[in-house]
Structure formats: C-alpha cells, structure tokens
Amino acid sequence: MKKDDLDYVIEALQKRDEILINDKPIRQYNKYFDKMRKYARKIIDEGRQEELLPLLDSDNISYRFDTAGLLFHCYPEKCTQIMKEISDMSVETGLPKYYIIVSVSAHMDLEIGIPKDYP
C-alpha cells in the first residue's frame, strides 16, 4: 500500500517526538522538520488541511505544537490558542523536561510570528 502525504507527516511527527524524548541530536530533529513541512505543504495545497485537524487535539504536546505551526495560517485562532497553552507550560506545572524546547518554541512563535509562506 502506497503511503499518503498524511502518513509522511505523521511519521515525521513521531520521529521528532522520539528524538526529543531520547535526547538525540537536533540535526535529526530538523531533518524531520523539513520532511514534515514538505508533506504538510502538499496537503494544504490540495485543500486537505482538515485531515491534520485531529492532531491539534492529541495528548502529545510535540504533535500539537508542530501541527499548530503547520496549520497556523489555515486556522489562526485555534492554533494561537494551542501555542499559548503550550508556551505557558513548564516543568513546574508538569511538563516533561524533554519538551521544554517545545514550550520555548511556542513562546517564540507567538512573539515573533510564523512566516506567511509556512509551511
């Protein structure tokens, strides 16, 4: 069975999460960022962005953050809310230490903004 672009996005999300959890090199994390972005762009260009929406409600913080970034320009209010929730998380409030970079990145995305051509 041939993989769909959505399968590639989900696979990249899983790999990125594993890299954070296992404290692997950031270059590996970035490699899957590029793959995730490439296939998400195809999905959005085909008008299939709603297929990514369930990932915004994932229990996995990393999936939610990445998907909120990917869908930010399609669903700005919902994605801003998710980014805000994640940016407010900390180790003191129960955030696993390996997700600190996700919380900081969400804060920076809200502060600096997400490029118009993203993904």
> Per-residue pLDDT tens for 16-51?
999 999 999 999 999 999 999 999 999 999 999 999
Identify whether the C-beta of residue 60 lies closer than 8 Å to the C-beta of residue 45.
no
Q: What are phi and psi of 4, to 5 degrees?
A: -90, 160
Write down the residue that tokens 């805000």 correspond to.
84
pTM of the model: 0.94
pLDDT at 81: 98
pLDDT at 1: 63
Task: Assign residue 94 a region (left: φ > 0; alpha: ψ between -120 and 50; beta: otherwise).
Answer: left
